[in-house]
Amino acid sequence: MVTPLLPLKMENVSVRRGGKTILGPITLQLADEGISILLGPNGSGKTTLLKTMHGVERPNTGTLQWNVGAEDARLRQAFVFQSPTILRRSVLDNIAYPLTLRGVKRAEARDRAEAFAARVGLTRVLDQHGMVLSGGEKQKLALARALILEPDLLFLDEPCANLDGRATRDIEEILLAVRAEGTRIVMSTHDLGQARRLGDEIWFLHAGQLRETTPKGQFFSEPQSDTARSYLRGDLLP
Amino acid sequence: MKFKSLILAAALAVAGSFASAEEFKMSVTTSFANSGLAEVLLPEIEKDIGLTVQLLIVGTGQALELGANGDVDAVLVHSKKAEEKWLGEGNGTHRREIMYNDFIIIGPAADPAGAKAATTATDALKAIAAAQAKFVSRGDDSGTHKMELALWKKAEVAAEGEWYAAVGQGMGAALNTAAGMNAYILADRASWLNFANKADLAIAFEGDPALFNQYAYLPVNPAKHAHVKADAAAKLEEWLVSPRAKELIEGYKIDGQQLFVFNATAN
Amino acid sequence: MEKIWEGLTQAAMLIVGFDPDLMEITLLSLRVTITATLIASAIGLPLGAWLVVNRFRFRRVVIAIINALMGLPPVVVGLFVYVLLSRSGPFGVLGLLFTPTAMIIAQVIIITPIIVSISHQAIRELWADYHDLLISLNATRRQRIATLIMDGRRALLTASLAGFGRAIGEVGAIMIVGGNIDHATRVLTTAIALETGKGEFGMALALGFILIGLAIIVNLGVHMLSRTERGSRW
């Protein structure tokens, strides 16, 4: 039995940039299963929070405590960035890349990459160069590249921000399937509909502060904070 | 056992490859190289005594410096004072005079300074200085440059001013500059005859014995640099003063003119 | 103008006639410069990438020094290598002075800073793009450098070719450490200097045209090879 990655305990975590606190202090526990949706207006600190949890952003104060060692924890999670970074390689080699980093033989890595490409529907473009893909295909590539590590925890930063409806639906289907396999997902979005469709719980972030972490049904029917209420109404928040 | 003999064979092969091509490095002045005589002598040396002489064509100063550092096996230059100083520092074993050619004063065909009328080299230079006619100097501490400075000194003329340009380059480059400026210049006859870019230049003065240019051969001192090929240096010296060398040196002509006079004496 | 035509016709005649001396010095030019470029690339490309990936205290100083080294006069490099390799110098016993090896050493010193500087520029942009992903994937420092070199290879090829271009046309340093010895260390550039000194401008220009032609052929050849490697635009 492998020691579970979660819970993650964050205590008093804050991030400062240029003398200004842009996030926190945040105290939060990430546990259980399901999909947490991070909502909040632009500049509220969604990306910073995700990156800090993942560990690519260093907090200025506070601690992150995983259920396993920090190094082990890094290997068991993956991140899909808002604008996907595409390596200057073929689609297949892009998806296989994380495995080769971990010492998997090239041939085996490519075999497994092919399977994950099929899963996100990129089989048709396997041999194309990553840079010539459409926006939706690029995001699927990034998703496959994150999933190939079979992470216990997957972060996504507005994965559908610039996609059309069809690509968005494809990605949502994949995410629901991934969730069903037991991968914990934390993702940010601007799309309230997407939050309704995917979320098990909603985190609402405003001005670097986590205003609420509420089960989905409750958040949309009776949000607990004033800011969340005005956000849902469509008001512009200061 | 087998392994050892293999190493031995390899070592012998390496040593053999060095021994078979006996290469001998000699630094010579640009003026000697430009004369074209080397292209006549080197193949004959290789044929007669089996020595591949590799020439490093540099200025006199650098030629002697290479010898002092042990980077060549012998030096062939033409600047007696510098040679004697170099020998005095223990850099070489001895100095052997081989041959001489002569310097000439080149100038614009129209000869604006009237150097042609002079009877001695110093008078010719005095005329050039008096006319403030453009003069290009090697200015590179070479044998030719040293000869030029000695002549100015003898003429009691301060070689400076707008008319006097020291270019700090080899004979060819200096001649190119003189051709471009249509200026006077002191050159060795061999370089001049072989020089292809004569433009409007012609010989302005020649024939004064003061202009003779003695070439000497100086083997690098093996007591200072143990690796130099002293045996080969001796063999080459023997060849250079032989009747065979005399025949080739005096037979070398450009446009029907003999360039070098062989004057080595038997020991 | 006349001289240029003379040079061109002479160049054509030398090439058509497969002049053996020309072949020899051309091949030596290529051998020396290609070897130097390979060595300088093996040092310079990883160093350029390493400087991008690593943040250390004196990074800016190191980059400034490398950029300054690009402006080093080849003659100074030549003298420096001469002093090291001279029989009176620290490496004199190796007997490398006036050999193609000495010329390669001098060229490596001249072009490595160029290759480092250009590759550093090129990789910096790629790193800005890859940074978050590679950190997220826990790539080790070595893996980061390898990935950047691999994926930036087109731009890095340009860095290497810039080094090649500088080296093939270099004369000051190799004249000093090679000695321009006929049939031993004479290359195109030193032969050009020699012919110019003899006032044989036509011949010098002819060799110059051959040198330029050679550089163009090598550049085109490398680009063609690198394009066939992958069909796409990138």
Residue-by-residue DSSP string for A165-187: HHHHHHHHHHHHHHHHTT-EEEE
Under the banding of pLDDT at 50, 70 and 90, the label for residue B16 is: very low
Is the predicted pLDDT of residue A42 greater than 70, yes or no?
yes
**Are B33 and B163 within one domain?**
no
Q: How many whole angstroms separate alpha carbon C147 and alpha carbon C122?
A: 13
- Chain C neighbours (≥3 Cβ pairs under 8 A) are A, B
Cis? peptide before A7, omega within 30° of 0: yes
Q: What percent of chain A has pLDDT above 70?
A: 99
Q: Which CATH class is domain A8-86+153-233?
A: alpha beta
Closest-approach residue (CA) in chain A for C131: A85
Note the CATH number of domain C21-185. Answer: 1.10.3720.10
Residue-by-residue DSSP string for B27-78: EEEHHHHHHTHHHHHHHHHHHHH--EEEEEEE-HHHHHHHHHTTSSSEEEE-
A88 CA to chain C: closest CA distance, Å?
5
- Chain B neighbours (≥3 Cβ pairs under 8 A) are C
Out of C136, C147, C234, the one facing A56 most closely (by C-beta) is: C136
Instruction: Say what the pLDDT of residue B240 is.
Output: 94
Cβ separation C130–A85 shorter than 8 A: yes
Pick from B161, B167, B162: nearest CA to B180: B167
Cβ separation A88–C147 shorter than 8 A: no
**Number of domains within chain B:** 2
Task: Dig out the tokens for C130 from the structure.
Answer: 């890859």
Instruction: Say what the pLDDT of residue C229 is.
Output: 52
Residue-by-residue DSSP string for C126-138: HHHHHHHHHHHTT
**Are B140 and B192 within one domain?**
yes
Closest-approach residue (CA) in chain B for C88: B69
Indicate which CATH number applies to the domain containing B114. Answer: 3.40.190.10
How confident is the model over C22-44, as pLDDT tens digits?
889 999 999 999 999 999 999 99
Closest-approach residue (CA) in chain A for C232: A129
Cβ separation C152–A88 shorter than 8 A: yes
Is the predicted pLDDT of residue B6 greater than 60, yes or no?
no
C interface test, pick of B42, B51, B56 with most C CB neighbours within 10 Å: B56
The mean of the pLDDT values for chain A is 87
Instruction: Enumerate the domain spans of chain C.
Output: 21-185
**Are B58 and B78 within one domain?**
yes
C181 CA to chain B: closest CA distance, Å?
6
Closest-approach residue (CA) in chain C for A89: C151
Q: How many whole angstroms separate alpha carbon C66 and alpha carbon B134?
A: 44
Cis? peptide before B108, omega within 30° of 0: no
pTM as predicted: 0.79
Quick check: helix, strand or coil at residue C89? Answer: coil
Please check whether residue A78 touches C, CB under 8 A: yes
Q: Does the residue B6 lie in any domain? A: no
Is the predicted pLDDT of residue C204 greater than 50, yes or no?
yes
Pick from A187, A122, A186: nearest CA to A148: A122
More reliable by pLDDT, C3 or A180: A180
Residues facing residue B137 across a β-bridge: B166
Cβ separation A101–C143 shorter than 8 A: yes
A interface test, pick of C133, C145, C154 with most A CB neighbours within 10 Å: C133
Q: Does the residue B195 lie in any domain? A: yes
Q: Could you say which of B195, B211, B227 is where a domain stops?
A: B211
Q: Which domain holds residue B59?
A: 21-100+212-262
Cβ separation C181–B56 shorter than 8 A: yes
Task: Dig out the tokens for C7 from the structure.
Answer: 């040079």
For range B199-208, the mean pLDDT: 92
How confident is the model over A173-226, as pLDDT tens digits?
999 999 998 899 999 998 888 888 888 888 888 888 888 888 887 888 888 888
**Are B65 and B146 within one domain?**
no
Instruction: Say what the pLDDT of residue B267 is.
Output: 65
Closest-approach residue (CA) in chain C for B24: C181
C111 phi, psi to nearest 5 deg: -95, -15
Instruction: Enumerate the domain spans of chain A.
Output: 8-86+153-233
Is the predicted pLDDT of residue B7 greater than 70, yes or no?
no
Is the predicted pLDDT of residue B95 greater than 60, yes or no?
yes
A70 phi, psi to nearest 5 deg: -60, -40
Task: Dig out the tokens for B17 from the structure.
Answer: 């490859």
B225-229, C119-123, C226-230: range with lowest mean pLDDT? C226-230
Pairing type for strands B212-219 and B96-108 reads: antiparallel
Is the predicted pLDDT of residue A121 greater than 70, yes or no?
yes
Out of C136, C230, C232, the one facing A54 most closely (by C-beta) is: C136
B19-23, B184-188, B195-199, C23-27: range with lowest mean pLDDT? B19-23
Residue-by-residue DSSP string for chain B: -HHHHHHHHHHHHHHHHHHHS-EEEEEEEHHHHHHTHHHHHHHHHHHHH--EEEEEEE-HHHHHHHHHTTSSSEEEE--HHHHHHHHHTT-BS--EEEEEEEEEEEEETT-TT-GGG-SSHHHHHHHHHHHT--EEE--SS-HHHHHHHHHHHHHT----STTEEE----HHHHHHHHHHHT-EEEEEHHHHHH-S--TTEEEEE---GGGEEEEEEEEB-TTT-TTS-HHHHHHHHHHHTSHHHHHHHHH-EETTEE--EE-----
Cβ separation C137–A101 shorter than 8 A: yes
